Amino acid sequence: MCGVIGVWGCAEAANLAYLGLHALQHRGQEGAGIVSSDGRQLHLERGQGLVADVFGRRDVFDRLPGRRAIGHVRYSTAGSNSLVNVQPLTVQLGGGFAIGHNGNLVNAGTLRKELQDEGAIFQTSSDTEVIVHLIARSRQRSLLNRVIDALGRIRGAWSLVMMTPERLIAGRDPLGFRPLVLGRRPGGGYILASESSALDLIEATFVRDIEPGEIVVIDDDGLTSFHPFPKAGRAACIFEHLYFARPDTALWGQDVYGVRMKLGERLAIEQPADVDMVVPVPDSGVAAALGYAQKLQIPFQLGLVRNHYVGRSFIEPSQQIRDFGVKLKLNPVPTLLKGKHVVVVDDSLVRGTTCRKIVRMLRKAGVESVHLRIAAPPTTGPCWYGIDTPTRAELIAANNEVAEIGRFVGADSIGYLSVDGMHAAVADGSPVEGHCDACFTGRYPVPHDDLERRDQLGLFET
Amino acid sequence: MCGVIGVWGCAEAANLAYLGLHALQHRGQEGAGIVSSDGRQLHLERGQGLVADVFGRRDVFDRLPGRRAIGHVRYSTAGSNSLVNVQPLTVQLGGGFAIGHNGNLVNAGTLRKELQDEGAIFQTSSDTEVIVHLIARSRQRSLLNRVIDALGRIRGAWSLVMMTPERLIAGRDPLGFRPLVLGRRPGGGYILASESSALDLIEATFVRDIEPGEIVVIDDDGLTSFHPFPKAGRAACIFEHLYFARPDTALWGQDVYGVRMKLGERLAIEQPADVDMVVPVPDSGVAAALGYAQKLQIPFQLGLVRNHYVGRSFIEPSQQIRDFGVKLKLNPVPTLLKGKHVVVVDDSLVRGTTCRKIVRMLRKAGVESVHLRIAAPPTTGPCWYGIDTPTRAELIAANNEVAEIGRFVGADSIGYLSVDGMHAAVADGSPVEGHCDACFTGRYPVPHDDLERRDQLGLFET
Amino acid sequence: MCGVIGVWGCAEAANLAYLGLHALQHRGQEGAGIVSSDGRQLHLERGQGLVADVFGRRDVFDRLPGRRAIGHVRYSTAGSNSLVNVQPLTVQLGGGFAIGHNGNLVNAGTLRKELQDEGAIFQTSSDTEVIVHLIARSRQRSLLNRVIDALGRIRGAWSLVMMTPERLIAGRDPLGFRPLVLGRRPGGGYILASESSALDLIEATFVRDIEPGEIVVIDDDGLTSFHPFPKAGRAACIFEHLYFARPDTALWGQDVYGVRMKLGERLAIEQPADVDMVVPVPDSGVAAALGYAQKLQIPFQLGLVRNHYVGRSFIEPSQQIRDFGVKLKLNPVPTLLKGKHVVVVDDSLVRGTTCRKIVRMLRKAGVESVHLRIAAPPTTGPCWYGIDTPTRAELIAANNEVAEIGRFVGADSIGYLSVDGMHAAVADGSPVEGHCDACFTGRYPVPHDDLERRDQLGLFET
Amino acid sequence: MCGVIGVWGCAEAANLAYLGLHALQHRGQEGAGIVSSDGRQLHLERGQGLVADVFGRRDVFDRLPGRRAIGHVRYSTAGSNSLVNVQPLTVQLGGGFAIGHNGNLVNAGTLRKELQDEGAIFQTSSDTEVIVHLIARSRQRSLLNRVIDALGRIRGAWSLVMMTPERLIAGRDPLGFRPLVLGRRPGGGYILASESSALDLIEATFVRDIEPGEIVVIDDDGLTSFHPFPKAGRAACIFEHLYFARPDTALWGQDVYGVRMKLGERLAIEQPADVDMVVPVPDSGVAAALGYAQKLQIPFQLGLVRNHYVGRSFIEPSQQIRDFGVKLKLNPVPTLLKGKHVVVVDDSLVRGTTCRKIVRMLRKAGVESVHLRIAAPPTTGPCWYGIDTPTRAELIAANNEVAEIGRFVGADSIGYLSVDGMHAAVADGSPVEGHCDACFTGRYPVPHDDLERRDQLGLFET
């Protein structure tokens, strides 16, 4: 996953981009970058690590002048974990061109090979460099037409922000996998962001979603909207609702917190349990657990305390750090739990290893019985569109029956939400017609050119 | 506030100390240090910033050999915010001596002056250096007797861990202001820590609290306990229960989470409200809000979402960062809150500025009415014993009636817990006879030599 | 200027490359990089600053495995001063491709434009990226033929080292502007280096110069030499002899130290002076001053002491640092100089500003008269082939008569070496037929496509 | 060794102190620090490494306000190599007190023990902290009297600069081991510095040496001089002339460069050689080699080229780095040396290991015969007064006859200067009556309390 931000026509644009990226930090913790434009030239600052680390020194904004900026937080889906892959990617195209990308392409490998055969050279292993090459090689004249030409050749998930010294271009893929919203600042500037919560932080007003297949161009003449691609259905990523987006985000017309509560309520109906208390896995399982508890009238308790000085577990790249992270991150409240029958609610179950440790931790704390409830269906397939789920071999539900999973994690009982239940909860009042649920159902809306993992392309360690 | 850890007789002692400090990170974020002993010599590593930053490089533990270690996380109460004040403090006393201190002394200024008149030189502005000078100047022969001699001369709050190459010494002041617990590792080593949650992280078993006035010495002969000071009542800091300690900590025989729920229940009885939902200020108000909501059977909702990539607001030293922090840290869930009548529960109200911003944020999100409930009495006086409350002039409740406070923060109604209600909630099953409630009542159990702020002693900027 | 190194078939190849770069540090102080190959994959480490800073941490070599490596020290001639321009440049061409370049191209701007029109995208402003694009776009099949195809299209000065996981390729331009030597390690490996002094440091034996227009390929079958380009005369940079190369380097069959002494002897014959002592500007003027003093039998004295903790003045990019540098770097020995008539010998005179300060410093130290002697002709034109001389506007001799220069610097007399005298000194026993003396004579052996400064291409500040 | 600087009554005092320390960098490369005073308070910045590294960021001077400053460069003689030992040392004595020390005390161990018995605590292992404790414990009333009282109790070598917010105090020990000079800035301020070359850099005029046993106090009333200690002869360190001081320094009335030339001339008379050329070991042997060559009318050649990107070998703390350093630092000029008979001149011979490598290097370069000439007598004893000579066991001349030394280093012949010859060269026109030559003669002017190495006191690794 990644997050993008665009700022147009605002004083201290880079600083606003920085704040926006801060609100999007949960979408990528491995690197961050900002490119600003002073109208004549682009200026780039980027680095590995958290937004606050990369942009920690105040003077960094002196090197990012201008009233226009785009920014990016990176979570290494495709492309190895190195500085050279941190976005925005800047190239000497015209008077300067910068691009930030959220999503994954399914034909990047094929296109990369074609381009290399034609003499293109790649300095990174990211999908984004493929897009830039396509733009550079387009026979179209205007930059906008070259961008549209290039975007017409890629398949998969892309929410993009691009900038030249004079222009900001943004767009979403025709199926609308990833979110991208438009807002306005009180003074009149435009903001583009992966999530509405980034608008809130910088006191911008939500205007609307960028539509699937829409390309917007913002320059001194204001915003112009284009719809160059034919309609092709919808494939809004349902996992954004279940786990990825912030609970305070308004996603495709619904508030994520409310959707998660409804998922918990559905889960309560489908998989009830007769226990003393409902305990969420913080923080991702909290809203679903609240819905579960309220529906069944069971006391809700924060029986697992999170250490806030450690980041989100799902997002770290190496298994070793993840394991250590669980230990550092969660601690049970022993007096509360001792001798109790407990339902533990989590948002989803991927490998099962973290969950297993939690169950063990709870038993050690004296819990009488642990009943696991997952506010999502079993995750049976990897995501090809930008969520960093592991390979099929590592997905516990791709290789085991539910009962086996329960035994593996050591729970007294286990219950998943059904696919229908999930859709009912999400669709309840949703204006989005179709969601992508491929990771739960195997119904991939866009086929992948090859099934190899993309990160095998990484050639250089930096 | 600060946090201390001691490790004795464990492989990779410094690494265990590091993990323990991680669990105590909420007690101090400005600096961290570890001193290890290999039996012949002490080894020191320390730095400014978070534990993970200071000890981020793996090779740091190569420079901290041995099976014994003490550690400290610092929050600058007395002594300016600079590297030289980061603890443990190490001096060349005997074969080497290191000390880490949680608490504040009320006669440090007087003692410092006396010592300076006798020719002592101070390199820091911390209370802790006073203790070391007293130990060095004691006429007693054995180190233990010199330590006891020195501790007999200081007044105020102190939970201490000290180490020589061969010995670990720890102790609590006779009134027992700050916590200090003893645990054992599976393999047989001893752990001392400010909070029991640090024991949990490193898989040590809680044995007991170090008693008020008790001094323990751990060496190759095991642990020996001394009670050199006369009994003088009890003054366990009630604010540890209300705010400071982690909810998963077992504090003086009670679990903090449970106490906070009871505070919320009492608050519900004393200050009920007829609203649509109860929303805590995360994370400190969560347990009290749960108690409040359950007692009144009102839905509990996490209507304010916290950005987990920013630290705890109370603990930053400069007002400017704090202001910025509120904005970066909390965001309302608009759809949930719109048109609703809401009770907001927080653990305490110090300056009122953060609360005011929250109320404003909620109104902007469309909340119909905001009713503020504080799970503590009005904070009317500063703490002289180690909690970094601001000066009286900045304490809103020291200078205003409750109704005025309500108007300042902009709430539709405001309600505090009574002092009696607080004691009832905390004492409910508590084995501790007396708590210090000076910040709420002005009943200071130990008078202060001078009422000036201690940090005026800071002479050097480093 | 820049310096390159190549290591093939040696244990700890990256460490040898590091030591070699250390010996070449005088050729570039702004950045350094090493790419190693373990036979399957390339590994890159690079950074801004001195070699010792970039490779200061021992563990850096753990990330550079393999028995093959190339390295580069950078001095920003073309391309702005930023990390992205630090070489070797690595791209995903075939199984990985890295390149390090010493020299400057005269048709890089033209080629860049052509390539961009064809859709090539540039991420840096360096000439080297142009070469890589030409290689990538060549219609030839084998990598070697593509490299030769590309090199046939560039004009100007290039001494190159290139590496794929399996192969090291190196070459010099047909006119042989810049040096490149071949050596062998005792154990049998090959070394390529800009100067022979780098061979000495790593105990390699000098084998021969790479010939102008020669391309060598080193792989598991050993070294193969190619001469794909027609002979076109010679243009060995005479300024390498005068200033740039280390005095202990054997350059094109002559030792630089000996050439510099001969330049001083010639200068003594052409521009004698009747003085008490000869004082060199350290360190570049020392050998010429020795020759001058010995020829005229005047005492040689190190009357200007250099502070060795500051780098070489010519090589810093900003004028402000250079000014400050003179003050920090040189100090006269007052007792030695007081009341004396002194000849000051320097290797060349570029802007005249440093020299002016030296004269002023000497007068302040009580020198009776200062006679300036320059062991080179007046510098009247910029270099287009890789020496970072300033623009014509800044070259004092491009805009002033010799007498005016003498007045500007404040010397009692001034004398330059003649162009013929310079050639006589350099050619004395030299096996090189022709030297490039364009900066002194305006006879540019290869015309430049445009006369603009190349660094105006820099688009991004990083 | 160390170097000190004091600045009084000058705008940008800290910046001047920085430049002065730069000129004194050769006296200590392990750490640097500056304390400034704004008249009310002291401000400290210090760090490990070179002056340019510690004070590399421009904003550091914003944290060092005021028109008064003292500074220090550190070379770890006594006290282990760690940040806590970097000077100036600052303590909370009165309104703040800072001290920088060049020299070594012979009774520091005894005094430290006495002070510790009285209850003093030491945070560093440096001699300087002993002085501060003595000042703090003095029964005198005024600070000046307390300082004099303390200095009366220490024995050994001390050139000191001390500062309170209102006052700068400086002084030299009664035997005058180490230099300390007084200068004035054009605008009227005072400068104190270890060497006159530091005055030159900051355009201050040399006024006079601080006399042995003199204490000067500079405050708003100007400079006052005190001579509180009885005269006790003179013991100016002769090794300052031979090696330590910069050649452009005026030391005790003589210029160091001239003294070194005379040492070379004397060496030529005592130990002539019939060779083709004289080659110095750069840079310390250059002036002596010039004197040697001129006296015997043999050509002087810089046959060993130094890499200026590596520091001075004598000054690094660990043997391992020193060995590596020789290899990186010197390279012979092969063409010049091949087949020649050569005299190599160095300033002194300590361990013999570097010299041995040089001889080997020269032979490898084809030198026919190598004759070693040392412009000093055999070094037979360690220095107790501040020069970091190794222990007796490591001093080659303390354990071997001259002929054996010659065999060890591999020279065809070896010749040392006689003690009388050394004194004749140094005393030639010298106003200093007596020099300390203990390292050559064993005549120690002040006995040492114990013969153990002081650095064994180091307790903490930081």
DSSP string of D151-210, one letter each residue:
HHH--B--EEEEEETTEEEEEE-TT--S--EEEE-TTS-EEEESSHHHHHHTTPEEEEEP
Q: Which residue has the higher pLDDT, C453 or B58?
A: B58
Question: Which residues face C415 on adjacent strands?
Answer: C373
Burial string for A323-357 (b: 16+ CB within 10 Å, else e) reads eebbbbbbbbbbbbbeebbbbbbbbbbbbbbbbbb
Question: How many Cβ atoms sit within 10 Å of the Cβ of residue B276?
Answer: 18
Each residue of A94-130: pLDDT tens digit?
889 999 999 999 999 999 999 998 889 888 888 899 9
- Distance between CA C203 and CA C187 in Å, rounded? 10
Identify whether the C-beta of residue B51 lies closer than 8 Å to the C-beta of residue B21. Answer: yes
- List beta partners, residue A169: A162, A217
Annotated catalytic, D439?
no
Inform me whether the pLDDT recorded for B81 exceeds 80. no
Phi, psi of A379 (to 5 degrees): -80, 110
**Chain segment D14-25, per-residue pLDDT in tens:** 999 998 999 999
Calpha distance B131→A350 (Å, rounded): 53
Gap between the Cα atoms of D367 and D279, Å rounded: 12
Contacting residues of B for D91, CB less than 8 Å apart: 121-123
Share of chain C above pLDDT 70, in %: 90
Tell me the β-bridge partners of B7: B69, B191
Residue A152 pLDDT level (bands cut at 50, 70, 90): very high
Q: Give the pLDDT band of residue C327 (cuts 50, 70, 90).
A: low
**For B367-422, what is each residue's pLDDT tens digit?**
999 999 999 999 999 999 988 878 888 899 999 999 999 999 999 999 999 999 99
Model confidence at C462: pLDDT above 80: no
Torsion sign (Cα): D147, D149, D151, D153: negative
Residues of C within an 8 Å Cβ radius of A: 41-45, 63, 90-93, 95-96, 116, 118-125, 132-133, 136-138, 457, 459-462
Q: Which of C2, C355, C383, C436 is catalytic?
A: C2
Mean pLDDT of the residues in chain C: 88
Residues forming a β-bridge with D277: D342
- Split at pLDDT 50, 70, 90, the class of B315 is very low
Residue of B nearest to A248 (CA): B333
Distance from CA of A201 to the nearest CA of B (A): 7
Chain B positions contacting chain A at CB under 8 Å are: 19, 22-23, 25-26, 50-52, 197, 200-201, 246-248, 250, 254-255, 257-258, 283, 286-287, 290, 294, 299-302, 305, 307-312, 327-328, 331-336
User: In this predicted model, what pLDDT tens digit does every residue of C138-159 receive, in sequence order?
Assistant: 999 999 999 999 999 999 999 9
Compute the nearest-CA separation of B308 from chain A (Å): 6
Q: What is the tens place of the pLDDT at every residue in B13-35?
A: 999 999 899 999 999 988 999 99
pLDDT over 90, % of chain C: 69
What confidence tens digit (pLDDT) does each residue in A225-243 have? Answer: 999 998 888 999 999 999 9
The residue of chain D with its CA nearest to that of B123 is D91
Residues A42, C137: C-beta atoms closer than 8 Å: no
Poorest-pLDDT segment among B146-150, C262-266, C412-416, D352-356: D352-356
Other Cβ atoms closer than 10 A to C81: 18
pLDDT at D212: 96
Search chain D and give the residue with CA nearest B64.
D461
Confidence at C335, pLDDT banded by 50, 70, 90: confident
- Distance (Å, whole) CA D241 – CA D235: 13
Give the pLDDT of residue C57. 66
Average pLDDT of A135-159? 95
Between chain C and chain D, the number of residue pairs with CB atoms below 8 A apart is 121
Name which of C52, C247, C308 is nearest D333 (Cβ-Cβ): C247
Contact A25 B307 (CB under 8 A): yes
Residue A171's Cβ-count burial label (10 Å; 0-12, 13-18, 19+) is buried
Is the pLDDT at A432 greater than 80? The verdict is no
Q: Are A182 and A224 in contact (CB under 8 A)?
A: no
Residue D53: predicted pLDDT: 79
CA distance A79 to A74: 11
> C462 contacts in A (CB within 8 Å)?
44-45
Confidence of residue C205 (pLDDT cuts 50, 70, 90): very high
pLDDT score at A281: 95
CA atoms within 13 A on the CB side of D206: 19
| SS3 at position A156 | strand
Cα radius of gyration (chain D): 22
**Nearest chain C Cα to D365, which residue?**
C200
CB C51 within 8 A of CB C18: yes
C149 sits in the region (left: phi over 0; alpha: psi -120 to 50; else beta) called alpha
Q: Is residue C190 predicted with pLDDT exceeding 90?
A: yes
Residue of chain C minimizing CA distance to A83: C84
Whether the link from the prior residue into C283 is cis, omega within 30° of 0, is: yes
Q: Do D137 and B122 touch (CB under 8 A)?
A: no
Query: Mutating which of D61, D70, D459, D462 best tests the B interface, going by the most B Cβ atoms within 10 A?
Result: D459
What tokens were used for A461? 């360690």
Residue located via tokens 């035994």: A407
Tokens of B348: 């305490």
Top-confidence residue, D127 or A327 = D127
Q: Pairing state of beta strands B413-416 and B369-374? A: parallel
pTM here is 0.81
Residues C300, C290 contacting (CB under 8 angstroms): yes
Contact at 8 Å (CB) between A188 and A228?
Answer: no
Give the range among A331-335, C400-404, D33-37, D77-81 with minimum mean pLDDT: D77-81
Nearest beta carbon to residue A42 from set C124, C137, C459: C459
Largest CA distance in chain C: 72
Give, in order, the Cα–Cα distances in Å from B114 to each of B119, B375, B458, C233, D172.
9, 43, 18, 88, 32
The pairing of beta strand A254-255 with beta strand B205-209:
unpaired
Q: Domains of chain D (ranges plus CATH)?
A: 2-235 (3.60.20.10), 257-441 (3.40.50.2020)
Separation in Å, CA C96 to CA A288, D53, D81, D157: 48, 37, 44, 62
Report which secondary-structure segment, H or E, holds B291. Answer: helix B286-296
Backbone angles phi, psi at C184, to 5 degrees: -130, 140
Chain A residue numbers touching C124 (CB-CB < 8 A): 92
CB–CB contact D309 C197 (8 Å) = no
Q: Are B51 and B83 in contact (CB under 8 A)?
A: no
Q: Which of D2, D10, D436, D439 is labelled catalytic?
A: D2
The answer to whether the beta carbons of residues A412 and A371 sit under 8 Å apart is: yes
C-alpha dist (Å) from residue A444 to A234, A239, A437, A440, B91: 12, 14, 8, 10, 66
pLDDT (0 to 100) of residue A310: 55
**Chain A residues whose beta carbon lies within 8 Å of the beta carbon of residue C118:** 137
Ranges under pLDDT 70 in chain D: 57-58, 76-84, 308-327, 429, 450-462
Interchain pair C310, D19: CB under 8 A: no
